[in-house]
Amino acid sequence: MYACVNGTRLFFDVDGTEFECGKDRMVQRPVLFLLHGGPGGDHSSFKKVAGQLRDVAQLVYIDHRGSGRSDPCDLVTNTMDQNIDDVESLRTYLGLDKVVVLGSSYGGMVAQGYALRYPEASARLILCSTAPSYRFMEEAKAFVREKGTAQQQKVCEYLWGGCFSNIGQLHEYYRVMGPMYATSFDSDKFETGWQRGIRNFHQLNLGFTTFLTEFDFTSQLKNIMCETLILSGKEDWICSPLQSRIMADHIPQAELHIMEGAAHSLADDKTDQFLELVREFLSRN
């Protein structure tokens, strides 16, 4: 499905009902917006695991502008600020009241910005494997220098320099870095997942050379007043548990869980624990 907002067409997909039949009444469930990572990823990575949350919420998967199945658009508009505003425009387009926003990695950065800019529309917030500021990048660079293989250090130069020139280089990057992204990495499953997804390396280049090098929500996090669930993998190399602790320390109603044996792709590494924590959070009165 598509929504025409802010000069472009955003792709979104809906799974589950907002109202379900109770014994003697219709029961309203929360609407959960899912924001993917990247920049330049798509929503496909959510569906296998997060799709199981349809029993407690209506799920709305969103491809950021120019990403995935959303229409191509002028690259200069592919900013974090615009992604934040696009989420709000989609909410109003769909005629929704408050929504719960789950953001993973870059999507979690957009989700923080959304909760700060549109507090009246934010029911609850779920932040997975993410960070509150540009400082995550120096930590990640140090991690790769100290613990990465020579090949991993080499492919990361594409990321830090924002110089991916084709989709083959991006594929090589994720294949080589796969064991760092997920403790459960499996090369065959990676190839299958890669075929399902649609990626935009131009957006990734833009993010890692512009807005991801300067954004900083840290001092503003005290203004996020909605209940917030923060999930982090103890082995996460790019958005370390330190970044999650910073968010938890600053957001007044934050609840932090650091998952043992999980890395950046924590929903894949610890699927049952992820689902249990998110399902319980969404089911609270």
Q: Residue 24: its pLDDT value, please?
A: 82
pLDDT (tens, 9 = 90+) of the chain, 285 residues, equals 999 999 999 999 999 988 888 778 888 899 999 999 999 999 998 998 988 999 999 999 999 999 999 999 999 999 999 999 999 999 999 999 999 999 999 999 999 999 999 999 999 999 999 999 999 999 999 999 999 999 999 999 999 999 999 999 999 999 999 999 999 999 999 999 999 999 999 999 999 999 999 999 999 999 999 999 999 999 999 999 999 999 999 999 999 999 999 999 999 999 999 999 999 999 987
The reported pTM is: 0.97
Q: Residue 169: its pLDDT value, please?
A: 97
Q: Which residues on neighbouring strands pair with residue 11, listed in sequence order?
A: 2
Q: Residue 265: its pLDDT value, please?
A: 97
In angstroms, what CA-CA distances link 184 with 177, 197, 235, 243, 268? 12, 19, 12, 22, 7
Q: Residue 187: its pLDDT value, please?
A: 95
pLDDT tens per residue, range 28-75: 899 999 999 999 999 998 998 988 999 999 999 999 999 999 999 999
Q: Residue 21: its pLDDT value, please?
A: 80
Total domain count for the chain?
A: 1
Residue 204, in any domain of the structure: no
Residue 150, in any domain of the structure: no
Averaged pLDDT of the chain: 96
The answer to whether the beta carbons of residues 178 and 185 sit under 8 Å apart is yes
Distance CA 204, CA 218 (A): 23
Residue 175, in any domain of the structure: no
Distance CA 236, CA 227 (A): 24
Q: Give the structural domain span for 240.
A: 2-133+216-282
Residue 169, in any domain of the structure: no
Residue 193, in any domain of the structure: no
Residue 207, in any domain of the structure: no
Residue 54, in any domain of the structure: yes
Distance CA 246, CA 206 (A): 26
Q: Residue 124: its pLDDT value, please?
A: 98
- 117 Rama class: left (phi>0) / alpha (psi -120 to 50) / beta: alpha
Residue 7, in any domain of the structure: yes
Q: What is the CATH number of the domain that holds 223?
A: 3.40.50.1820
